Amino acid sequence: MAHAARGFSLIELMIAMVLGLLVVAGLINLFVANRKAYQVQSGNNYLQENMRIASDRLGWSLRMVDFWGGNKAVGVTVDSSASATVTDNGDCDGNWATAITYSTTGGGGIFGYNGAASPPIDSTCIGGTANYVPGSDVLVLRYADPQVLSPGPVPVAASTITGNADRIFLLSTPGNRAELFAGSVPAPQPNATLMRYAYPYQIDMYYLRPCNVMTGSTCTASADGGQPLPTLMRMRLSDGNFVSDPVVDGIEQLKIEYGEASAATGMAPEYHSADNVGNWADVISARVSLVAVNPVRDLTVPHVATYTLGNCTYTINNGSAATTTGCAGFKPYGDKPWQFVRASQQFVVQLRNRVRG
């Protein structure tokens, strides 16, 4: 009876403990590996989703360029009431906002500014030099929003228009004439029986800002909880004032090339940076290049790579500063850039209203 009641010996207990520790250690390693895999996959999903949002928003605006309700830009009259309703924001004033033809510098349905060390457009437009990512391009697009108001010889939405005196609208008689205006609906011309369509007027300016959530009105080192994250911004008109809204964060660099087509090129587009576009009226497509970055560090491997976006090329090195060429003062995200996952994307958007005439 005494022999049968004996417990484990010390050696048996130690062996059992060692085996148990080995099993627990294996489970911990499995958990850590799964967590790292989850973080890597989440980071990839973050990058892909950010690039999808950026390409969708940019692509939609580019496809709407020079939509004037069935008329060409040269057939659109700009009433003085349209420019007068815009509050000046530096060089981004009423005349600039409604410059839908290329007779005005910076005008037309599409116009680009090549990236520079400081904002290539008046810094007042974007709230100061600190709110611009050096080396990134600026894109300006003008068009009429396709959400047409109620049509008719006198649009049924006339009361809606007069009730929004600070908004600019396009009144179009397709294939005949169109007019940008604000306030009261212009009198029918030349035929009072023709159908007229009213559209809200849009101007979009896309640029990169060094942060998403600013401290006050400026991107500082304390923005975004102390980790400023470069963000794709869209500046637009809202009741006569220019406002900037974040489109998506995590966009590190943005460059755009413009496809010019002419008789000299056999009507096949040749892509140039904004500074090298010969005639903006001949631009029929845009080639957009962007790089997205995941703000969560990944120390599993050094994420070294070279990214070429138009005339800007930069290389992420392991353990040393990044090298840049043609990027005009640009610095990649992070104090140690090689610890952050990046992804690049390039896509071409056809300016369908240009191609269709």
Q: What is the pLDDT of residues 5-22, one digit of tens each?
A: 566 677 877 888 888 888
Contact 234, 247 (CB under 8 A): yes
d(CA 124, CA 129): 8
Please give the pLDDT value at position 56: 95
* CA separation, residue 98 to residues 133, 179, 204, 328 (Å): 26, 11, 12, 30
Phi-psi region of 330 (alpha: psi -120 to 50; beta: other; left: phi over 0): beta
Q: Among 290, 288, 289, 298, which Cα is nearest to 334's? A: 298
So what's the pLDDT on residue 37? 67
Sign of the C-alpha dihedral computed for residues 159, 160, 164 and 168 taken in this order? negative
Q: Determine the Cα–Cα distance for residues 181 and 158; give it in Å rounded to an integer.
A: 12
Stretches where the chain sits below pLDDT 50 are none
Distance CA 262, CA 136 (A): 28
3-state class percentages of the chain: helix first, strand second, coil last, to nearest 5? 30, 30, 40
pLDDT at residue 292, as a whole number: 95
With residue 11 as reference, give the H or E element that holds it: helix 10-64
Please state the length of the chain. 357
